[in-house]
Amino acid sequence: MKLLRGLCIVGLLLLLGAQSLWAITRHSLVLATSANSSMPALTVQEARKLFLGVPLEKGGEHPVPLLNISDPLIFEVFLQKVAFMSANAYESQTISVVFRLGGKRPESFNDLKSLVDTLQQNPGTVTYLWEDQVRANQGLKAVNVLWQGALE
Amino acid sequence: MKCLRVRMRQRYYPAIFKTLNAAIVSGVCAVATLVPVSSVAEGHMGHMSSHGGTGLPGDLLLFPAVTGIERFDQEPRKKLSTGDVIPEINVFYTTDYQRFRFLGEWLVSTKTHNLERFQLGMHVGDEATLWLGRFHNPIGYWNMQFHHGAFLQTTITRPGIMAFETAGGVIPNHLTGFLWEGVHELGEGGLYYTVGAGAGPQINKGLEAFNLIEPGGSRRPGVSFRLGYQPISYGVDEFGISGAYNQIHSDELAVKNVNQFVASAYAAKQIQSLRLLSEIVYVNNTLESPLGGKTHDDFLNAYGQVEWDLNPAWTVVGRVEGTFGGRDDPYLAMFPKYVEDRFLGGIRYKLNHTNALKLEASRDHLRDDHFGQVMFQWSAVFP
């Protein structure tokens, strides 16, 4: 009986530990905009088109995409989970789409502070950020989740 | 593309414009060459840099290129020069104003200058645009994908069947009139459709597209369509068909008019680091003589291109092109510089996300002639 109770406790601890670990490594990539913005939620497909330079109108809004390249990891997740292509392919595809159909390539930011400032000052702009980055900034809000999961 | 420009006729402008063109192109290319190319591709972040700071409301793209050509073993007629160096710059600008869109593309090289595209468009609904102006004929894949952007192509040359009018091409590449295009969403995929109608080219020692700056000549109508399926919309993979009907006035002594039907199918597919691109084009012509006699002919052209990305910087490419039924074709007889068959191998090295170097070797067969060719090209896109 004692042995059984001990095994149960160890199992419970392992379960709680695994849950905590999952919670730690779990990431949410969200579409972020200014807290003053009335931007509607965009599907992953709509976000993908927008970040390829295709103009989009939704709920009376014309979202302007800002490409977040401030961190290699977030850019890689964006490429894999939203754009579905490599960095090379994304670069040539944005040029190709604009060159073929018109439109405008997204402006890119390699500095997070500058990106956040631009987002806050221009309510029509959107970008992708980690959920905790949005939570940490009062001037921003998450429109919807683009991807959620654990990073390998 | 560039190799064929060597053989281009100097039909549009006097010597002073030619000198001016050369000065502009050389100047711009020289400035572009001075742009630092030190950030060699080293991964994703190496490819991307902040852009968008042109201050213009729309998007401006500059495609400068310098192409060196060396030909050897020309037999038996030696139609082309043995070598050349051609600087060029293609200027593209597009901007939106409410529901309207402007798009323009201007190419200047030491061999030619042309307003290649000049389109005014109006968005209709969420997915379509109606254009008015001079546009690229929606025939096949290559013509709509790469336009005049040398940097976007992995190879230096275009396939012979997709050669521009000014470079000895046999299919009209430009129309001036109306173009209706859009993408219809199908789940994750998209159906990309295009229908165009307008004034086509005339034949005057080769095809001569309608020139917006210097209109003239005898133009007859052409219509074309293209239907492409993209498994992931705006992605790299695309499969499609296209077709065209062109009436072409001819200034040739023996031919007064040509009625031309074109049908094509194409496929572009990315499999890991391998990219496959293939098109098959069927052309049927009816040639009318000044005396009223009619001659019918047809031919088939196909090409396949394989690109292999060794890493983000290096790409190896090979292409095979062939024309079937073109040997005694009376229509093709009017285009002595049309490349009927070609075996090509090459390599592209991306210095960074805006600069590339290409080296290409090929064995080309024209009508009654063949030669070997080695080409070198620096191309870029700015900003």
Q: Which positions in chain B touch A95 (Cβ < 8 Å)?
A: 61, 149, 152, 381
Q: Specify the pTM.
A: 0.80
Residue B27 lies in a domain: yes
Give yes or no for B347 touching A (CB within 8 A).
no
Query: In sequence order, which ranges of chain B are alpha helices (DSSP H)?
Result: 2-5, 15-34, 44-47, 142-145
The CATH architecture assigned to A28-150 reads: 3-Layer(aba) Sandwich (3.40)
Residue recorded with tokens 């037999």: B75
Does residue B297 fall inside a structural domain? yes
DSSP bridge pairs for B146: none
Alpha-carbon span A21 to A17, nearest angstrom? 6
Where are any strands of DSSP class E within B251-368? 257-271, 274-288, 294-309, 314-324, 341-350, 355-366
In chain A (152 residues long), the average pLDDT of successive 10-residue segments reads 67 57 70 88 89 85 91 92 86 89 89 91 91 89 88 68
Check if A55 contacts B (Cβ < 8 Å): yes
Residue B41 lies in a domain: no
As a whole number, mean pLDDT of residues B46-74 equals 76
Backbone phi and psi for residue A129, each to the nearest 5 degrees, phi listed first: -140, 165
Predicted confidence (pLDDT) at residue B28 exceeds the cutoff of 60: no
Inter-chain contacts counted by CB atoms under 8 A, chains A and B: 98
Check CB contact of B153 with chain A, cutoff 8 Å: no
Structurally, chain B folds into a number of domains equal to 1
Q: How confident is the model at residue B91 (pLDDT cuts 50, 70, 90)?
A: very high
Q: According to the model, what pLDDT value does residue B337 have?
A: 87
Q: Quick check: B272 and B302 in contact, CB under 8 A?
A: no
Q: Which of B59, B145, B234 is closest, CB to CB, to A105?
A: B59
Torsion, Cα of B305, B164, B364, B26 (10° steps): -100
pLDDT value at B1 more than 70 = no
CB contact under 8 Å between B50 and A110, yes or no, is yes
Say what the pLDDT of residue A88 is.
Answer: 81
pLDDT at res. A22: 52
Q: Flag whether B298 is in a domain.
A: yes
Q: Are the C-beta atoms of B64 and B29 separated by less than 8 Å?
A: yes
Q: What is the mean pLDDT of residues B87-111?
A: 91
Q: How far is CA B324 from the centre of its chain?
A: 22
Tokens describing residue B114: 């042309």
Residue B46 domain-assigned? Answer: no
Question: What is the reported pLDDT for B226?
Answer: 96
B180 part of a folded domain: yes
Would B110 be classed as within a structural domain? Answer: yes
pLDDT value at position B130? 95
Q: What is the DSSP string of B339-370?
A: --EEEEEEEEEESSSSEEEEEEEEEEEETTEE
Query: Higher-confidence residue: B52 or B307?
Result: B307
Tell me the backbone φ, ψ of residue A119, rounded to 5 degrees: -60, -45
The better pLDDT of the pair B193, B209 is held by B193
Residue range of the domain that includes B372:
2-35+63-380
Report domain extents, chain A. 28-150
Among chain B residues, CA nearest to A70: B45
Q: Does residue B48 form part of some domain?
A: no
Which pLDDT tens digit goes with each residue over B249-302?
Answer: 988 888 899 999 999 999 999 998 899 999 999 999 999 988 888 899 999 999
What pLDDT does residue A24 have? 53
pLDDT given at position B151: 92
**The pLDDT value given to residue A13:** 58
Query: Which of A45, A87, A95 lies closest to B48 in CB terms?
Result: A87
Beta-carbon separation of A100 and B234 below 8 A: no
CATH number at residue B277: 2.40.160.10
